Amino acid sequence: MIAGVDLGGTQIRVSFAHDDGRIVRTVRTRTALVGGPANMVTWVVQQVERHLRRQPLLSIGIGAPGPIDPHQGLLINPPNLPGWHNTPLAAMLGEATGCQTHLENDANLAGLGEYHHGAGKDSRVMAYVTWSTGVGGGLVIDGRLFSGAHGSAGEFGHMILDPNGPICGCGQRGCVEALCSGANIAKRYGESATDLLRAAGEGDSEAQAIVERVAGDMGLALISLANLFDPDLIVIGGGFTRSWSQLQPVMLRVLRSSPFIRPRRRPRVRRARLGDQAGLVGAVEWARTWL
């Protein structure tokens, strides 16, 4: 058996699966109830003992919010997990369970999940974009996650679209995240992205102009993705996809406007299919990678 762990600021989920990736059981708890890293490890071990009993656990994949160091299995300073600064989570959980344990960015693993079991099943080179409170993503090539030289590939949200644009939490100006994320939309326009999208759908012309601008900026980001990675498919997940019918036509129009990206090599653009299960499914697939 293998296990996938999805660690978030709100909840912790663990899925147990067969070696072929078929999930047989998922358990969850609230992160606040568990507390810090040591208690989280104890809770996971309890679930292993309770649900696997005498079945051997061969591998664990952990998805966690960045910034992380996947090579060292280290949570560096995740903003939504206070008290988890420089936590060697992979080593802690591996020692407690006695099996190999590997840590990866949660957005990367959501992309891996979509590639194997969601919208990306028929692709070879897939770029995954998560578009929600922040903007992140992952790149999967021939079934394998591409993490880059330092484990930080797929930070699509920090491609710069406007060097004179608003400052981003990363310190740069005019990043995709600074222009398109839910958190930054609320800062710039004084309304939540949800309210703006609702107002635009109801015909509010000012809201429609803002939504058009934001979706257009994301379309420019897709052009950069297409030119940099040449994917055959871009999958977009996250909370913004609830307004897919409003956003997709604008993104596609901008993508198709590029004279350099000819139709023959233009990537398909799809809405993610796994919803909030993508990261957990990806964590299981990450565990499989190391068998």
Res 80 pLDDT > 90: no
Q: What is the pLDDT, as a whole number, of residue 87? A: 95
Sign of the Cα pseudo-torsion (171, 176, 179, 180, in order): negative
Q: What is the pLDDT, as a whole number, of residue 262? A: 93
Mean pLDDT of 61-76: 92
Res 27 pLDDT > 90: yes
Position 237: which residue type?
Answer: G
The model's pLDDT over 87-106, given as tens digits with 9 standing for 90+, comes to: 999 999 999 999 999 999 99
Res 242 pLDDT > 90: yes
The model's pLDDT over 255-271, given as tens digits with 9 standing for 90+, comes to: 999 999 999 999 999 99
Res 86 pLDDT > 90: yes
Report how far residue 40's alpha carbon sits from residue 48's, in angstroms, rounded to the nearest whole number: 13
Q: What is the pLDDT, as a whole number, of residue 159? A: 96
**How many other C-beta atoms lie within 10 A of the C-beta of residue 220?**
20
Q: Please check whether residue 131 is in contact with residue 244, taking contact to mean a CB–CB distance below 8 angstroms.
A: no
Mean pLDDT of 108-123: 95
Helix/strand/coil (H/E/C) assignment for every residue in the chain: CEEEEEECCCEEEEEEECCCCCEEEEEEEEHHHHCCHHHHHHHHHHHHHHHHCCCCCCEEEEEECCCEECCCCEECCCCCCCCCCCECHHHHHHHHHCCEEEEEEHHHHHHHHHHHHCCCCCCCEEEEEEECCCEEEEEEECCEEECCCCCCCCCHHHCECCCCCCECCCCCECEHHHHHCHHHHHHHHCCCHHHHHHHHHCCCHHHHHHHHHHHHHHHHHHHHHHHHHCCCEEEEECHHHHHHHHHHHHHHHHHHCCCCCCHHHCCEEEECCCHHHHHHHHHHHHHHHCC
Sign of the Cα pseudo-torsion (81, 16, 74, 184, in order): negative
Q: What is the pLDDT, as a whole number, of residue 261? A: 95
Mean pLDDT of 68-93: 91
Q: What is the pLDDT, as a whole number, of residue 30? A: 94
Res 54 pLDDT > 90: no
CB under 8 Å to 283, separation ≥6 — which residues? 4, 5, 6, 15, 61, 62, 63, 104, 109, 113
Mean pLDDT of 66-84: 87
Res 273 pLDDT > 90: yes
Q: What is the pLDDT, as a whole number, of residue 119? A: 97
Res 2 pLDDT > 90: yes
The model's pLDDT over 170-224, given as tens digits with 9 standing for 90+, comes to: 899 999 999 999 999 999 999 999 999 999 999 999 999 999 999 999 999 999 9
Mean pLDDT of 245-250: 96
Q: Could you tell me the pLDDT band of residue 149, with boundaries at 50, 70 and 90?
A: confident
* Phi, psi angles (nearest 5°) of residue 23: -75, 130
Mean pLDDT of 132-158: 91
Give the predicted TM-score (pTM) of the model.
0.93
Q: What is the pLDDT, as a whole number, of residue 40? A: 95
Res 53 pLDDT > 90: no
